[in-house]
Copies of this chain bind each other. A is one copy, B any other.
Amino acid sequence: MIPATSPLAANGDTPDLPFYAASGDECMLFEQAWRNRLPVLLKGPTGCGKTRFVAHMAARLGRPLYTVACHDDLTAADLTGRHLLKGGETVWADGPLTRAMREGAILYLDEVVEARKDVTVVLHPVTDDRRTLTLERTGETLLAPPEFMLVVSYNPGYQNVLKSLKPSTRQRFVAMEFGYPDPDTEAAIVASETGLAPDRCVPLVRIANALRDLKGQDLDEGASTRLIVYAATLIKAGMKPAAAIDAALLQPLSDDPDVQAALARVADLALG
């Protein structure tokens, strides 16, 4: 276990810490997982702050952070590294997983279910008590230092049947669930991010929550905190609230004219 005289002790008001408003004991759980070398799985909807949370914790724990946005074509070699041709010679170039293990960094794999299966399987020996990575191509075997941590995230909301984490992968992680912040916290976040007066942020949050209630009926996914920030940014820049709400909160959610009309009515009602 990593001793308590770690950078996290010097918490409080670190100047360059990315802003994160905790809604429970997620910071403590993350820190304990890190100290005890347990990998972590973050679950939650798009734009609810998972990425920000990891950035915040990496800064608090004083560890470098490597983020990889996973996708269909991400292969194991994109994580571990590959040989490049330099001066007629093949030279090995570390991937982010290898680099993170060498440096004792935090590796964050965003939307890990999107990756190809060979990616998730390459994580297995890293996530059990071996904490090793074998680079078949170089013959090297890396042992993760205590400071190394693997964090993965995904959005259960639109996890499809073809792509899901196999039990043998899931059961390698301590898991925590994220949701949208409560309205007051969210309005404070939006105000802090955009400089718009808090009382002008409150109705935007009210609209977003009204739209979130439509999830599963007309919408695949509710409005994220990020979209509220966009709307507030445009209003702060001088745009009329109605135009800003349309461009930032309604148009991004759907292309269907009927749904658009419904969203507009919901927004109007929320504004009261």
Contact = CB atoms under 8 A, between A and B. Distances in A.
A159 interface: yes
B177 A251 contact: yes
Looking at A36, A67, A171, which has the most chain B CB atoms within 10 Å of its CB?
A171
B89 A251 contact: no
A166 B157 CA distance: 11
Contact of A136 (B70, B78, B110): B78
Interface string A207-237: 0000000000000110110110010011001
Nearest to A72: B117
Looking at A83, A158, A167, A227, which has the most chain B CB atoms within 10 Å of its CB?
A167
A168 interface: yes
A264 to B, nearest CB: 12
Interface string A31-75: 011011010010100110001000000000000000101111111
B90 A89 contact: no
A93 B137 CA distance: 8
Contacts of A186: none
A7 interface: no
A253 to B, nearest CB: 7
Contact of A118 (B73, B124, B175, B253): B73
B171 A96 contact: no
A239 B32 contact: yes
B38 A233 contact: yes
A215 to B, nearest CB: 10
Contact of A125 (B46, B67, B75, B117): B67
14 contacts: A29-B239, A38-B233, A41-B252, A70-B121, A73-B76, A78-B136, A86-B89, A86-B90, A111-B168, A158-B167, A171-B223, A173-B252, A174-B248, A175-B248
Interface of A: 1, 25, 28-29, 32-33, 35-36, 38, 41, 43, 46-47, 51, 67, 69-76, 78, 83-90, 93, 95-96, 110-111, 114, 116-118, 120-122, 124-125, 128-129, 134, 136-137, 139, 155-159, 166-168, 170-177, 193, 220-221, 223-224, 226-227, 230, 233-234, 237-239, 243, 247-248, 251-253, 255
Given A1-B237, A174-B251, 19 more contacts: A29-B243, A29-B247, A35-B237, A38-B234, A43-B251, A47-B168, A67-B134, A71-B117, A71-B118, A72-B117, A72-B118, A85-B85, A86-B89, A110-B124, A114-B117, A129-B193, A174-B234, A176-B247, A177-B251
